[in-house]
Structure 1
Amino acid sequence: MITQPQAMATPTPDPDEERRRIQTARLVAYRDDGPLAHFLAGKLGAGVPPVPATLVALLAVVAVTVAGLLDSGGPILLLPVAIVLLLVLPTTPRDHLGRFDWLTPPLLRAAEFFTVIAIGLAADAPKWLLFVLVYVVGYHTYDTVYRTRQSIWPPAWVFRAGLGWELRLLVIGAGAAFGVLTPVLAVLTAYLFVLFAVESVTSWVRLDKASAQAGADAEQDLEASPEDALEQATGEAEKG
């Protein structure tokens, strides 16, 4: 007796597991980790809780700035960068599924922006240039959040090309320590502006074209007469 083979049932994904996976992916994207953070993630074990570490980093940079430790300039301007990197990089391996882990991205962005501004003001960098850099990175963060909430994920390469918060801070700290912060800021800001703007615009244009094409195809299918549909189906059957 020959029996028909039964199709293998496709396992239904666990909704809770899928939710946790998406939450982790979103929060990791919002962190905007760069090449250095990803390189170290596999070498730091389980990592440390992200919210306390990031909050301590932010408060420590604020304390260093308020205490006037950056006023002398020079290599001391690397201190806030070192604080943020040493405290926040070990949080990279975490899955960010804790109850308050959603606070990590805004705390990290606040630590990055405050560090940039503190170093820039201490090094007498143009204030407008600091503002533009913060705006460019802020736009990239907003674009990432908006896209992921539409289930449109930015490509992984844009986070690596954008250097991540850690390499951006290292570049700025090194530029300030060597007394060349203004040209470093100018080059970094221009590079990030072109990168994030071009990638964002091209992605949205590509999405709009795909949506328009899908809408046109659907409208064409609705407008097709029953005779045309039957003729098309018959033709496809004959080809098969």
Structure 2
Amino acid sequence: MITQPQTTPVPDPYEERLRVQTARLLAYRDDGPLVRLLRDKVGPGLPPVPAALAALLAIIAMAVTGMLVDGPILLVPVLVMIVLVLPTAARDHLGKLDWLTPPLIRGTEFLTIILVGLAADAPKWLLYVLIYVIGYHTYDTVYRTRQSIWPAPWVFQAGLGWELRLLLIGAGAALGVLTWVLAALTLYLGVLFAVESVTSWVGLDKQTANAAQASDDLETSPEEAQEQATGEADQT
């Protein structure tokens, strides 16, 4: 009985490009456990760009009108962002302007941290360090995906995502313990992102070196390999 060889189906280039584009934008969002838990429970979701822009403008309006003063009110901008931005995670992010969603989310997150921190009289240097740590994580994610190296999904969950980070900061400000929350959050995220990033890149370098060595071995002729072995034996 003659059987036809099975061929692996070749993915459509356009569909593959859309898949990669969606995966990148979702990674750049840096959603955490809360978004992952509720993503499938918000129906079709909200349009990403309008919703993220509305959250940003609402928080700016609260700051301009003087609403953000020390106390429980500092939890409000966090809740506004979560209510407006969390439902956008259900969308496929394939719209022409959906690439604006991650920078809008990150910019709103940073602005909220600054406004809440200043209103609660938190140490400015601590706010700066926290923003730097989150910014490093964002840069590392973008650089990796551009090299077709995807961070492990657990990194985004362990990093708490923008939503849990803001909830912790808002709750800390409302309860009057923001400085301690910022210190603990900065230390935890700094260690997590630094260790994970360094170990991942070191592991990648080792894989690259092993692949290069294997390639060199394949290109070496049997005569050259024998000469190298003989030379190493003479040296010993």
Taking structure 2 as the reference length, the TM-score comes to 0.93
Q: Deviations over 1:50-79 (max 9, x none)?
A: 0000001011101101111112x1100001
Cα-Cα RMSD: 1.3
Aligned partner of 2:119 in structure 1 is 122
Aligned partner of 2:43 in structure 1 is 45
Stretches of structure 2 lacking an aligned partner (at least 5 in a row): 227-236
Stretches of structure 1 lacking an aligned partner (at least 5 in a row): 230-240
Instruction: Map 1:1-240 onto structure 2 (within 5 A).
Output: 3-71=1-69, 73-225=70-222
Distance 2:176 2:7 in 1: 65
Identity of aligned residues (%): 66
Q: Deviations over 1:9-65 (max 9, x none)?
A: 221111111111100100000000000001000101111110000001011101101
- What is the deviation of 1:217? 1.2
Distance 1:120 1:186 in 2: 12
Distance 1:70 1:227 in 2: 74
Cα distance change of structure 1 residues 4 and 87 upon mapping to structure 2, 3 Å threshold: same
Distance 2:149 2:224 in 1: 38
Distance 1:149 1:141 in 2: 12
Distance 1:192 1:145 in 2: 18
Aligned to 2:99, the other structure's residue is in SS state helix
How many pairs were matched up?
A: 226
Taking structure 1 as the reference length, the TM-score comes to 0.92
Aligned partner of 1:236 in structure 2 is none
Distance 2:93 2:169 in 1: 28
Distance 1:160 1:131 in 2: 23
- What is the deviation of 1:228? 7.0
- What is the deviation of 1:225? 2.1
- What is the deviation of 1:4? 2.4
Distance 1:206 1:152 in 2: 12
Distance 1:74 1:112 in 2: 19
Give the AA of the match of 2:144.
R
